[in-house]
Amino acid sequence: MLARTHSAVLHGIEARVLDVEVDVGGGLPTFTIVGLPDASIREARERVRGALKNGGFPLPAGAVTVNLAPAEWRKAGATVDLAVAAALCEIAGVAPREARRRVFLGELGLSGQVRPIRGALALALAAKEAGFEQVFLPEQNLAEAACVDGLDLVAVASLGEAIAHLTGQPIARRCAPIVADGETPAALEDFADVRGQAVARRALEIAAAGGHHALLVGPPGAGKTMLARRLPTILPPLSRAEAIEITKIHSAAGRLPAGSGLVRARPFRAPHHGISAAGLVGGGPHPAPGEISLAHRGVLFLDELPEFRRDVLEAIRQPLEERRIALVRVGGASVFPCDFLLVAAMNPCPCGRAGSAGGLCACGDANRRRYTGKISGPLLDRIDLCISVPAVTWNDLARGAPGESSAAIRARVELARQRAAAHAPAGGTAAGNARLTAAELEAAAPLDGAGRRLAETAVSRLGLSVRGLHRALRVARTIADLEECDRVAAGHLSEAISYRLRTVPDHKGRIDTPASGP
């Protein structure tokens, strides 16, 4: 007796639909699964047996063979359990023969309950793209899969419910409609909470408008973490396509809370400095997305930057440039997107007091240098904005006037991004000015006379490298966009250069201006 159902398995953050063929032949009661299953799929036989028995369904007598096709690719995860059980129920005659194109997704527990799965959104999308109309899935994953239009979703809590639905007692769980495009979710944090810190606020607005990576340098308690946490609240709202992309990543990583639908807020990830390279960029035998991919389309915050291991920081250099990471394994490569805004924070020296008013630092030159020298030079090279965050003054704290709200800042950021899109080539919209190539920059950021003279001085007298000048020009372009200017003026460039004055030495131990550094 042969029955055929369908399921799907996750591969990285994408999914593929499978044929699940189940044959029950004569002979000893065995249970074999073929078609390159990994251990988690092979164990389906125990789960399916238990679920059938405890759910009150007969296991057909004889030798059971399950074939997962196509055979050539490796399959992992427990999403096929429900499809195997459904096929056995067809063979046993307790469920009707498959009449329509449907996909079964779900892990079974021994008592017959259907457990939530990872990657439900990607799995449902794969079913839709393969032309299926109906998807059975765990009830906890309904909200997530409901992001896919035009599928008939049957959300079940148990094998019993799935069979009941197949035999004409419909299960009708529905979820609330998903949020419309371009909406910004209410955030707990807001820039209105930040008193004073005019320079840092301004610099983060520029970071958001142009997609510029930033480093916050200041003593403990200055508000670096507070400022960084609020950066996602001034980025433009997510498009639906971006929200789907983020949800797929977080779902595949098992990071979506049960019952949640589309991710609406830009991610903010703040991994601890003890994290491994695999934790940061992704890894494992069936590669799981790392923090850089969980931060996709949002902010990656590296607090206490000098405390991160050097090899760990080196590991993000390439993905930072390519905005995707390929993790190669025996089963093939998984590619995860990782387009994030990097914000790092650090103290100016081990004691944290260097450069502050009063100058109470007693670390000594050598210690200060060793501390800041721990940061990878090539990483610093990719940071356009170096922001000094002094301790907040009592006056600012006590005056009590709330700062400008995130919504007001975000409105300017969105306008600046629209302007940037107009002078950037295709793809420039989402990317921001930070990604302009040297040639694009030349066309997009023409300098006026005074600007040209300033650029010349910066190169010849301040020793700014040509690369450094290009970085400053990208920032200047963003500042001009924020101020609704077509041309880049000397004022824009000088502000941009001020964010380059290193408060820490570069990888060669150079400090641009001794006065501003430790």
Ligand X SMILES: Nc1ncnc2c1ncn2[C@@H]1O[C@H](COP(=O)(O)OP(=O)(O)O)[C@@H](O)[C@H]1O
Contact footprint for ligand X (CB under 6 A): 194-197, 218, 220-226, 392
> Which residues lie below 8 Å from residue 20, measured CB to CB, with a gap of 6+?
4, 5, 6, 7, 66, 67, 68, 80, 83, 84, 87, 104
Instruction: Give the nearest residue (CB) to ligand X.
Output: 223
196 binds, among Zn ion, Mg ion, ligand X, none (CB under 5 to 8 A by kind): ligand X
Q: With b meaning 16 or more CB within 10 Å and e meaning fewer, what string describes 68-106?
A: beeeeebbbbbbbbbbbbbbbbbbbeebeeeeeebbbbb
Closest to Mg ion by CB, 67 or 225: 225
Instruction: Confirm if 195 and 392 have CB atoms less than 8 A apart.
Output: yes
Kindly tell me which of 263 and 343 has the beta carbon lying closer to Mg ion. Answer: 343
354 in contact with Zn ion (CB under 5 A): yes
Q: How far is the CB of 309 from Zn ion (least distance, A)?
A: 22
Number of Cβ atoms within 10 Å of the Cβ of 274? 10
391 binds Zn ion (CB under 5 A): no
**In the range 220-239, which residues lie near Mg ion by CB under 5 A?**
225
Q: Is 361 in the site for Zn ion (CB under 5 A)?
A: yes
Distances (CA, A) of 444 to 92, 300, 338, 419, 480: 70, 28, 26, 11, 11
- Structural contact between residues 5 and 99, judged by C-beta atoms closer than 8 angstroms: no
Shortest reach from residue 223's CB to ligand X, in Å: 3
Q: Is residue 356 a contact residue for Mg ion (CB under 5 A)?
A: no
Shortest Å distance, C-beta 346 to Mg ion: 10
Of 106 and 218, CB closest to ligand X: 218
Instruction: Kindly tell me which of 343 and 482 has the beta carbon lying closer to ligand X.
Output: 343
Give the nearer residue to ligand X in terms of CB position, either 195 or 470. 195
Which of Mg ion, Zn ion, ligand X, none does 29 bind, CB closer than 5 to 8 A by kind? none
Burial class (CB in 10 A: 0-12, 13-18, 19+), 390: middle
- CA angle 79/144/100 to nearest 5° reads 60
Strand partners, 393: none
Q: How far is the CB of 408 from Zn ion (least distance, A)?
A: 37
Which residue, 92 or 187, has its beta carbon nearer to ligand X? 187
- Smallest distance from ligand X to CB 279, Å: 22
Q: At its nearest, how many Å lie between Zn ion and the CB of residue 305?
A: 16
Distance CA 229, CA 394 (A): 22
Exactly one of 76, 171, 270, 351 binds Zn ion (CB under 5 A); that residue is: 351
Q: Which stretches of the chain bind Zn ion, using CB under 5 A?
A: 349, 351, 354, 361, 363
